[in-house]
């Protein structure tokens, strides 16, 4: 093994959230080890690769041609009847974003972490959280069949949707089926698309979720589906729904599938608490995914920055208590929490609507001039023009 026996901070998980937390902890003076179980950062990709532009406002990231491949000008949201609303970038503010090469993006973030001074250990799994008299003292890692204890004053759990760090440290990350989506995606080629738009299809085409088309170019796109587990018999139904959608769309007539990926995404409200003595959770591990869109990259990176900065402050103060780490809770919640809860309530409402109601919603939204794609803005606009329709949504405004 190449790394030391002891660090200030160990970050578990080399995804966007973990690399960003490692970067900002190291940049601010902490001695950091970033541990990733996969042999290659960012690969294989399990992602639609759509990001909001919000990320660039909060974190020092410059779009790089290795991963920033298609900045779209708008998003089209199609209702069951085929009517759609076009949300252009100006109206949508930061929600309409870019399609990236996720493997290169993750490598870019890890490189930034390394440049800031973090050590990176790939093909290294954290297999246990070590404690002494109940206090977290570090982690046990396994690399190529060999195990080793590495001590740390602080552990950051950035180990994704199925976070073991969260479970081992006693956080309740259990998800209800109504708060979990099953996702399947094809990377397709030989398509005939308009690459200026990301497309979303809602309604019975994707119960409790949506179909997405995120184009990288006219020919190549990620075409995927997310279905709410409580609305289907089992995850295998995702393939039936996605194949049926593709079958019925002329743009896919000559298309071929280059890659298939699947995975779970939480669409829950965020955890009430993501810190304890000597531990912080970030990104998917902390249930920071936007419950309306299922997108988690931006939130993970934005929270990752706060997490890393607070980790470095804790090292300077030599205070790793839950009380000190409240700085992180306060910081990330100020940036993300209100939207996460609002979008959670919006999701809860939207999944209860049938195709007829969804079509009405699309119709009224297309008649309203939207300055911003925030849920609040949309609902307020609908209320001012169509009070009878918005009755159902009143509690969200």
Whole-number minimum distance, CB 359 to ligand FAD, in Å? 25
- Segment interacting with ligand FAD (CB under 6 A) among 41-49, 59-67, 248-256, 378-386: 41-49
In whole angstroms, give the CA distance from residue 197 to residue 200: 10
Task: Tell which one of 6, 29, 38, 380 touches ligand FAD (CB under 6 A).
Answer: 38
Name residues contacting ligand FAD, limited to 111-130 (CB under 6 A): 125-126
Candidates 9, 11, 16, 208: give the one binding ligand FAD (CB under 6 A): 16
Among the listed residues 17, 70, 104, 374, the single contact to ligand FAD using CB under 6 A: 17
15 binds ligand FAD (CB under 6 A): yes
Question: Cβ neighbours of residue 237 under 8 Å, at least 6 residues apart?
Answer: 182, 227
- How does DSSP assign 160-229, residue by residue? -TT-HHHHHTT------GGGEEEEEEEEEES----TTEEEEEESTTSTTSEEEEEESSSS-EEEEEEEEG
227 strand-pairing partners: 182
Half-sphere exposure of 383 (CA within 13 A, CB side): 13
Asked if 125 and 132 count as a contact pair (C-beta separation under 8 A), the reply is: no
- Residue 252: both structure tokens together: 């896919």
Among 9, 10, 11, 12, binds ligand FAD (CB under 6 A): 12
Residues in contact with ligand FAD, total (CB under 6 A)? 38
Closest CA to 183 of 223, 224, 212: 224
List the alpha helices (DSSP H) in 65-155: 89-92, 102-115
Q: Are strands 6-12 and 98-100 parallel, antiparallel or unpaired?
A: unpaired
Q: Compare residues 139 and 379 and give the one whose CB is closer to ligand FAD.
A: 139
List the one residue from 25, 35, 364, 373 that touches ligand FAD (CB under 6 A): 35
Per-residue contact track with ligand FAD, 89 to 108, x per CB under 6 A?
--------------------
Q: Tell me which residue of 126, 177, 206, 166 sits closest to 287, measured CA to CA.
A: 166
Q: Cα 333 from chain centroid? A: 16
CB 296 within 8 A of CB 283: yes
Choice between 157 and 381, CB closer to ligand FAD: 157
C-beta of 180 vs 381, nearer to ligand FAD: 180
What's the order of all strands across the beta sheet hosting 98-100?
A: 50-51, 98-100, 68-71
- Which part of the chain contacts ligand FAD (CB under 6 A), choosing from 33-41, 68-76, 190-198, 237-245? 33-41
By rule CB under 6 A, what string of x and - marks binding of each residue 333-372 to ligand FAD? ----------------------------------------
Q: Which of 10, 47, 110, 211 binds ligand FAD (CB under 6 A)?
A: 47
- Residues 242, 207: Cα–Cα separation, whole Å: 11
Among 11, 22, 50, 105, binds ligand FAD (CB under 6 A): 50
List 7, 14, 26, 76, residue binding ligand FAD (CB under 6 A): 14
The contact pattern for ligand FAD, residues 152-181, with x = CB under 6 A and - = no contact, is ------xxxx--x-----------------
* Among 263, 341, 353, 363, interactor with ligand FAD by CB under 6 A: 263
* Tokens read off for 128: 């246990």
* Span near ligand FAD by CB under 6 A; candidates 10-18, 24-32, 53-61, 79-87: 10-18
Residues near ligand FAD, by CB under 6 A: 12-18, 35-38, 46-51, 125-126, 158-161, 164, 183, 185, 224, 261, 263, 265, 283-284, 289, 295-298, 300
């Amino acid at each position: 093994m190449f790394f030391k026996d002891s660090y200030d901070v160990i970050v578990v998980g080399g995804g966007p959230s973990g690399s960003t937390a490692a970067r900002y902890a190291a940049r601010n003076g902490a001695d950091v080890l970033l541990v990733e179980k996969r042999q290659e950062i960012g690969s294989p990709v399990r992602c639609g690769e759509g990001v909001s532009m919000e990320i660039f406002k909060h974190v020092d990231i410059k779009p790089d041609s290795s991963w920033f491949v298609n900045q779209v000008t708008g998003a089209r949201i199609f209702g069951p009847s085929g009517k759609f609303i076009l949300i252009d970038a100006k109206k949508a503010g930061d929600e309409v974003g870019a399609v990236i090469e996720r493997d290169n993006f993750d490598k870019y973030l890890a490189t930034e972490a390394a440049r800031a001074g973090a050590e990176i250990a790939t093909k290294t799994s954290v297999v246990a959280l070590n404690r002494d008299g109940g206090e977290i003292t570090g982690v046990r890692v396994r690399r190529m069949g060999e195990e080793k204890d590495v001590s740390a004053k602080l552990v950051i759990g950035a180990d994704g949707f199925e976070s073991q760090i969260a479970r081992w440290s006693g956080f309740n990350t259990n998800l209800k089926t109504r708060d979990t989506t099953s996702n399947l995606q094809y990377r397709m080629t030989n398509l005939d698309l308009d690459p200026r738009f990301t497309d979303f299809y809602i309604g019975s085409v994707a119960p409790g979720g949506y179909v997405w088309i995120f184009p990288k170019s006219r020919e190549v796109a990620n075409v995927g589906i997310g279905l709410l587990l409580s609305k289907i018999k089992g995850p295998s139904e995702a393939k039936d729904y996605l194949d049926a959608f593709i079958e019925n769309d002329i743009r896919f007539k000559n298309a071929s599938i280059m890659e298939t990926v699947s995975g779970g995404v939480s669409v829950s409200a965020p955890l009430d608490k993501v810190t304890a003595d000597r531990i912080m959770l970030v990104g998917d591990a902390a249930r920071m995914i936007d419950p309306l869109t299922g997108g988690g990259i931006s939130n993970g990176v934005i929270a990752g920055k706060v997490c890393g900065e607070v980790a470095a402050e804790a090292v300077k103060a030599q205070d790793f208590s839950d009380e000190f780490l409240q700085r992180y809770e306060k910081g990330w919640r100020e940036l993300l929490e209100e939207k996460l809860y609002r979008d959670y309530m919006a999701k809860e409402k939207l999944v209860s609507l049938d195709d007829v109601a969804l079509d009405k919603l699309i119709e009224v939204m297309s008649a309203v001039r939207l300055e911003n794609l925030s849920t609040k803005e949309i609902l307020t606009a609908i209320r001012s023009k169509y009070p009878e329709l918005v009755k159902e949504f009143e509690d969200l405004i």
